[in-house]
Amino acid sequence: MTTPFLNPRREIPDGMRFTEWRAADGWPLRSYAWPQPGTARGSMLFLTGRGDFIEKYLEVLIHWHGLGWNIAGFDWRGQGGSGRMLADPLICHQTDFDPLVDDLTSFVDRWIAETSAPHVIVAHSMGAHLTLRMLARRPEGIDAAVLASPMIGIRIKGVPIWLVGGLSRAATLIGLAERRISGRDIGDVGERMTSCPDRRADKLWWKATKPEIASGVPSWGWVRAAFASIARLPDTVLAVIRTPILLVAARGDPIVDVAAIEHAAALLPNAELTIIDGGGHEIMREADDRRLPVVARIDSFLALTS
């Protein structure tokens, strides 16, 4: 029997459990699992983007759990309920994305061993980028992947991307790597993340209710690390990732480069691409008229794996 939710975006579902696990270097990471009470159709690993926490995506996880998937995932190091990089927890900082790829690889190895097949990954933005990097390293055991608004290239409206890369390198060289790139959380400005005011309010509600999981603006070090990590996915690497992949994005995404996503889709040997009109970066948290067709497209794609 399905549990009723007054607001599914603001309630932890019955049966979802959070635990701490330690990365290979001892870093504390918050993970969660929401298994099926009976036989599952398969297991889904859900991965969030930069500065995210899993509570933002409860609505869509409830949907997929209702379709029979075991659900699992974790907060990336430096954000959510995982150990932070800096004394100021609201600065989203990294010096290198390689430890994030290592964390993901370790988690996937354990997850595959402990859960039922098929094993699929649904990942957003930075999480989608890191999924591609992991698949280039170890594709074994992953039956399909959905990459929503994948961070294959970065876009900042009105600013040449070469200038952003140059500024991040210069800031790091003069000792400003841990400084925030902006005085305000640019993710909360206007409709950049989602055009849905209710879902924007949900994010702020969670940050106020559980401030320990909140993150904010990226550091210059994070920006430089992101550019370096993107450079590790050249055309030659993408062209050998044979995992079935669905890429979905909004045409006007203000955060990631949609042209780069289209280019990657043409290179990946077993990829499908869906671009929607309108909406922000977080297309799984959009208003229903945009969100539901995206979720239906994902469901159709994943149906081929189970």
User: In this structure, is residue 170 part of a structural domain?
Assistant: no
Nearest Cα to Cα of residue 121 among 40, 58, 64 = 64
Strand partners of residue 30: 20
User: In this structure, is residue 230 part of a structural domain?
Assistant: no
Reading the block at residue 123, the tokens are 């990942």
Separation CA 154–CA 279 (nearest Å) = 17
User: In this structure, is residue 290 part of a structural domain?
Assistant: yes
Q: Which amino acid is at 134?
A: M
Reading the block at residue 111, the tokens are 């997850």
The pLDDT value given to residue 266: 98
20 has pLDDT over 80: yes
Tens digits of per-residue pLDDT, 160-182? 788 888 889 999 999 999 999 98
Tens digits of per-residue pLDDT, 140-164? 999 999 999 999 999 877 777 888 8
Q: How many folded domains does the chain comprise?
A: 1
Largest CA distance in the chain: 58
User: In this structure, is residue 189 part of a structural domain?
Assistant: no
User: In this structure, is residue 172 part of a structural domain?
Assistant: no
Are the CB atoms for 45 and 119 separated by under 8 Å?
yes
C-alpha torsion sign, points 266, 268, 271, 273: negative
Nearest Cα to Cα of residue 148 among 21, 291, 2, 42 = 291
C-alpha torsion sign, points 126, 132, 135, 136: negative
9 has pLDDT over 60: yes
The pLDDT value given to residue 230: 97
CATH number, residue 52: 3.40.50.1820
Strand partners of residue 34: 71
User: In this structure, is residue 119 part of a structural domain?
Assistant: yes
The pLDDT value given to residue 45: 98
User: In this structure, is residue 64 part of a structural domain?
Assistant: yes
The pLDDT value given to residue 88: 96
Q: Which amino acid is at 138?
A: R
**Which domain does 259 fall in, by range?**
17-84+97-156+235-303
Concatenated DSSP letters of 255-295:
SB-HHHHHHHHHHSTTEEEEEESS--S-GGGS-HHHHHHHH
56 has pLDDT over 70: yes
User: In this structure, is residue 268 part of a structural domain?
Assistant: yes
Give the list of residues 6+ apart from residue 114 with CB closer than 8 angstroms, or none: none
